[in-house]
Chain A
Amino acid sequence: MFRFIMRKLHFLHLLHHNPLQDKNKEPEKDPATTLLTKDLQQNLAKLKKILGTSNDIIIRTFTFGSNNIEAALIFLDGMVDKTTVNESILLPLMYEYPQSKSDEDSSWNNIEDIQQKLITVGEVKKTYAVQDTILSILSGDSILLINDLNQALIISTRGWEARGITEPQTEATVRGPRESFTETLRTNTTLLRRKLKDPNFTLETLVLGKRTQTDVAIAYLKGIVNPRLIEEIKRRLNQIDTDAILESGYIEEYIEDNPFSPFATIANSEKPDVIAAKLLEGRAAILVDGTPFVLTVPMLFVESFQTAEDYYSRAYYTSILRLLRFLSFLLSILSPALYVALTTFHQELIPTPLLLTMAAAREGTPFPAMVEAIGMGIIFEILREAGVRLPRPVGQAISIVGALVIGDAAVSAGLVGAPMVIVVALTAIASFVVPAQTDVGSILRIFLTLLAGFLGAFGIAIGILGVLVHMCALRSFGTPYLSPLAPLSTGDLKDVFIRVPLWDMFARPRTIGWIDPQRQAFRLKPEPPPKKD
């Protein structure tokens, strides 16, 4: 026994060694880390060796100036804007350089001049390191190498085919902005910038992923956000040592507070207005190149029940919707469990006429209610998954077949009772009302239905208590997940079960935006003009 544990411990120990880190311990042999030399051909050979022979790597060698200076422009086809390369780099070098420099003596090696006077591109940098040049090429910049110079110019020529800004696919709104983030980081930051014209809006970028070299940006509003939150985000991001970041979901999993929790502790959205609002509340956003989904931290549980539209439409109806969403969430996790508990343990709680109807419907069905509930739940999940994955036209066919099979055929064949179908359908619809918690809902639903099948209402209560304990213990970047409910902060309840009018929400959420709590003036309540006497 003990030996077994020790062996297991040893194994755990091994796991802590990262093979990637080990490989990086002999950096001298890697040509990428060396410096550029003055010999152009040598440099080119080095780069070719690193970049390989892929045919999208374009190495354009040319000479310019009266002295026929050898130079090479290296870029990746498809990732650069050809017009920029042609008109802003090659054209000035090859046409204008001779005129401006021919008379003078060999001051051609003044790279400053080239950078300052010739290249008509916005962003140009110099570098000595091979590593930098490689990275720049791979991310779509062009590299200008000049013979006899041990520096290279990194010319920003990024430009590729990108999807335009479209309507958000996951968060539909009736009222409110319809733009959504795209796959390009720069576009996304621009969208945010346009919403927040504030010098305090800060973007900090870093590159993650050994092989994907994904640009990641942390966005926040200086002065509102808690500096320790930013530090913590950076700490956690820097700990990520993996070879690929393809989507923000990758990052999410690496930086969660409690990786085993079924609850998401990091929010995401593809709507710039949502992200801007969250930044304004004192949160920080993590933008990842290559995905329209932007992460925000810290996330509170109640955030799942708030939508952007809540703040664009009027307060009364929004408040009703809020309550409805909480109800839907409860329904989606509880209704099959309650149905099972009521029909198999607590029949006394069902009003007599209803009980008779339900009993009549159950007459002759072969499976116990719990098996029925779980089976129907699984069938529903299958249908849903099929509907999502299949191409649109087929997806609709699936839903029709599903509805027919479950809703009608199964009932009239006496396989399941009609009330069960109603319960499952209700659950399904309710679970879509709170999209952020849909996946948790599915897990909890099955968990609670099992408990209800074994112990009735007691089982449900024990299950809910367990979940509650877990949720109370959960934190998202240090913020209690159930705040402002537990720990209670009464001021923030203005935006939980109901939404009070905007003019009454003076403060940012206390657990998040306490650095600069007040967000608007008091007494903003609009009033009719005073009556003239």
Chain B
Amino acid sequence: MISLVILTFLGIIAIEVPGLIRKKYWKELIVFLLLLFIAFIASILLAMGFEFPSLIKGIEILIKYILR
């Protein structure tokens, strides 16, 4: 599972990065890598079976806190 995730990410890099380098889109490259890093961490955690807290529960708590 984890190897699949890594493979997918390598695939994404192989697709996007050469074009960005050729066009010298450095800023875009940085944003891309940053986002990809976030995505990578999240999906690796998910693949390893890390239990994330429920997102909508979090929003519920937040909304109730603000309204109070």
Contact = CB atoms under 8 A, between A and B. Distances in A.
Interface of A: 1, 5-6, 8-9, 12
A8 B17 CA distance: 12
A5 to B, nearest CB: 6
Contacts, number: 11
Nearest to B14: A5
B21 interface: yes
Contacts of A9: 18, 21-22
6 A-B pairs with the lowest CB-CB distances in the bound complex, closest first: A5-B18, A9-B18, A5-B17, A9-B22, A9-B21, A8-B18
Contacts of A6: 21
Contacts of A8: 18
Given A1-B13, A9-B18, A9-B22, 8 more contacts: A5-B14, A5-B17, A5-B18, A5-B21, A6-B21, A8-B18, A9-B21, A12-B18
A262 to B, nearest CB: 20
Interface of B: 13-14, 17-18, 21-22
Contacts of B17: 5
A453 B17 CA distance: 34
Contacts of B14: 5
A9 B13 CA distance: 14
B15 to A, nearest CB: 11
A8 B18 CA distance: 9
Contacts of A5: 14, 17-18, 21
Contacts of A1: 13
Nearest to A4: B14
A9 B22 CA distance: 8
Chain B interface mostly: helix
A232 B24 CA distance: 29
11 contacts: A1-B13, A5-B14, A5-B17, A5-B18, A5-B21, A6-B21, A8-B18, A9-B18, A9-B21, A9-B22, A12-B18
A269 B13 CA distance: 43
A353 to B, nearest CB: 44
A12 B21 CA distance: 13
A5 B15 CA distance: 11
B48 to A, nearest CB: 23
A9 B14 CA distance: 11
Contacts of B13: 1
A26 to B, nearest CB: 31
**Chain B CB within 10 Å, residue with most, of A5, A6, A12:** A5
Nearest to A13: B22
A6 B14 CA distance: 11
Contacts of B21: 5-6, 9
Contacts of B18: 5, 8-9, 12
A9 B17 CA distance: 11
A9 B24 CA distance: 13
Nearest to B17: A5
A9 B19 CA distance: 9
A455 to B, nearest CB: 17
A517 to B, nearest CB: 40
A3 to B, nearest CB: 12
A6 B18 CA distance: 8
B19 to A, nearest CB: 10
B7 to A, nearest CB: 14
A6 B22 CA distance: 10
A390 to B, nearest CB: 43
A5 B14 CA distance: 8
A203 B22 CA distance: 41
B13 to A, nearest CB: 8
A5 B29 CA distance: 14
A15 to B, nearest CB: 13
A6 to B, nearest CB: 8
A12 B22 CA distance: 11
B65 to A, nearest CB: 39
B12 to A, nearest CB: 13
A494 B66 CA distance: 59
B18 to A, nearest CB: 6
A9 B20 CA distance: 12
B61 to A, nearest CB: 35
Contacts of B22: 9
A479 B67 CA distance: 54
Nearest to A9: B18
A12 B14 CA distance: 14
B1 to A, nearest CB: 18
Contacts of A12: 18
A5 B22 CA distance: 11
